[in-house]
Amino acid sequence: MAAFTVIDHTEIGTGGAASWEVTSIDQSYDHLLLKVSARSERATVTRESVILSVNGSSSTTDWPFTILRILSGAVNSTRGGTGYVGWAGYTNIPADGATADTFGAMSIWIPNYSNTTNYKQLLWQSVSENASTTNNEYGVEITAALYTEDTTAIDEIKMICFTAATDIAEYSTFTLYGVTGA
């Protein structure tokens, strides 16, 4: 049976935060699971992209990723791998223009994160909630990424809003679990 241990739980406080980050992650677990409930403070839009990095990556070619998404009923996909400056793809959360007090949800699995022989996989599931039927104002996404910069164990994770100077909103939560026995 799998055991889930909370490594970090952060609730963003008053005024929001530029990022969420955990460093010095203990290497004694089998896998990592990040659960997020978040919203952006970006004004006048309904969705904001959030991006994730591990180990302080700054490479522009080492994150191949694929995103499958449904945005307001339309299915599409995106592939990337260059020009994202070390980020493992992205997903969307509600922004300030979305329904008040509505937060997006996501789960990010990082299996075998402490392995030093192979590249690391990241698997995201996310939903950007909004009480709207207007195109591109809500969505469901699945992202698969591969950290190919090196085979170093993952000991840092960081998430920020894609738009410069946009904060993650107050009451957003980030819970990182170490998973053993799965």
Domains of the chain in start order, with CATH, are 3-142+151-180 (2.60.120)
pTM: 0.90
pLDDT band at 164 (very low <50, low <70, confident <90, very high): confident
Residue 83 has pLDDT above 50, yes or no: no
pLDDT per position as a tens digit, 37-53 = 999 999 878 888 888 88
Q: What is the mean pLDDT of the chain?
A: 86
Residue 38 near residue 11, CB atoms below 8 Å: no
Angle at 54 between CA 64 and CA 31, to 5 degrees: 95
